[in-house]
Structures are given as C-alpha cells and as structure tokens.
Structure 1
Amino acid sequence: MEARPQIVCLCGSTRFAQEFSAVNRDLTLAGTIVVAPAEFGHPGDQITDEQKTALGALHLAKIDLADRVLVVNPGGYVGESTRREIRYAHQTGKPVEYTDAPGSPVTP
C-alpha cells in the first residue's frame, strides 16, 4: 500500500498570488497535497471583519491538517497574520520552511 502524499499548508500574504500559484503548481506536480489561503483578489471582493476572523480560524485548521508549513514570502516579507500562523504552526509542532529568508526573525 502506498503512503499518503505529504500535505503542505502554504502561508503568507495573498498579495503574492503569482508566487503562491507557482509554488502550489510545483508542489502539486511533485506529488504533494497543497492547502492554501483563500484568495479574494477580484475587484469588488469585500470581506467583513467577521469573515476575515473566520477565514483566519479556517486557515489555522488547514495548518492542523498539514504535515508541514511553507511560508511564501518573496523578499523575506512576513506580515502580522502570517506571523500568527507561524507561531501557531510552531506551537502545534509543525515544521516551518520559507521560500525566502524572513526579513526579521519570527519567534515561536
């Protein structure tokens, strides 16, 4: 029986949609299951504070499902929401990797 493919949760600012897409594609073609943040980059997409909070909690649940976390952070950028997700991943024992070295250390 084959082992289950590894599950990777992508974290990072959704402003990097192109980078997320490229990383998702590369990991998927390598046989990895990828879970990622919801993208709301279409003109007119408006997210309420309540929806933003719910999406944040949903993303933490995606981290729970994953074997590891990959932070998509071109130029080393890590925003506050991503910092929270990284801390959560560390607290739950998930390995965290970065596409670029973080601009400043993220403490668990």
Structure 2
Amino acid sequence: MADRPEIVCICGSARFMDEMQAANSDLTLAGVIVVAPGVLPGAEVTDEQKVALGALHLRKIDLADRVLIVNPGGYLGESTSREIAYARAAGKPVSFTDPG
C-alpha cells in the first residue's frame, strides 16, 4: 500500500468546469487527492491574473502523480495543450476523458 493516496491534477478548458467538477468528485470519492483549476464563478480576471493562474496550475501539475485532461468531444484549447506538453516534459502520465 502506498504511503499516501495518488495525486491527480485535472486540466481542461474553463468551458468544461461542470465536467471537471464531476471528475473531481469521482476521483475524490475513489480516495484520490485532486488538484484542479481554481473555480472563480463570475469573477472578472485580468490578463495579468490569467498569466499568474496559468503559472499556478503548472505548479499543481508538478505536485501530481498524473494528469487527467477533461476534454468532452476531444476539445483541447491552447492553455490545455500547453499544460499537456508541460506534464509530458515533466514525465507525468497524461490521460483523457475523451481520447477521441
């Protein structure tokens, strides 16, 4: 048995926040530690804040044992594609909810 539960970082487009929250719930109930994008409902985020949040999410990937990409319909936006490349370069396993 592992010393700690697996850590999974959820990545995906903000348009799939509901799907990411569902994946978070499923993983959490399965005993997984989940790190995911911050939820900022209705918040107006400046360009500077977007850059800072993007960098913060890369640090979440650093913490994770693996990365789960939530991509209904196979959609991958620019930020998610960058996160996938970052995770792979760091040697993190990457899986997709819709491998398409």
TM-score (normalizing by structure 1):
0.88
Q: Is 1:10 aligned to residue 10 of structure 2? A: yes
**Aligned partners of 2:30 and 2:64: how far apart in 1?**
16
**Aligned partners of 1:50 and 1:27: how far apart in 2?**
31
The Cα shift of 1:84 comes to 0.3
**Aligned partners of 1:81 and 1:48: how far apart in 2?**
16
Question: What RMSD, in angstroms, separates the aligned Cα atoms of the two structures?
Answer: 1.3
**Aligned partners of 2:2 and 2:79: how far apart in 1?**
36
- The percentage of counterpart residues that share the same residue type is 67
Aligned residue pair count: 100
Counterparts in 2 of 1:3 and 1:39: CA distance versus 1, 3 Å = same
Q: Which runs of 4+ in 1 moved over 4 A?
A: none
Computing the radius of gyration over CA atoms, which structure comes out larger, 1 or 2?
A: 1
Deviates more, 1:33-42 or 1:6-15: 33-42
**Aligned partners of 2:62 and 2:95: how far apart in 1?**
16
**Aligned partners of 1:91 and 1:74: how far apart in 2?**
24
Matched letter for residue 55 of structure 2: A
Deviation string, structure 1 residues 30-86 (Cα, Å, up to 9, x no partner)? 0000000112232xx211111000000000000000000000001100000000000
Matched letter for residue 19 of structure 2: E
Matched letter for residue 83 of structure 2: E
TM-score (normalizing by structure 2):
0.95
Partner of 1:62: 60
**Aligned partners of 1:25 and 1:54: how far apart in 2?**
26
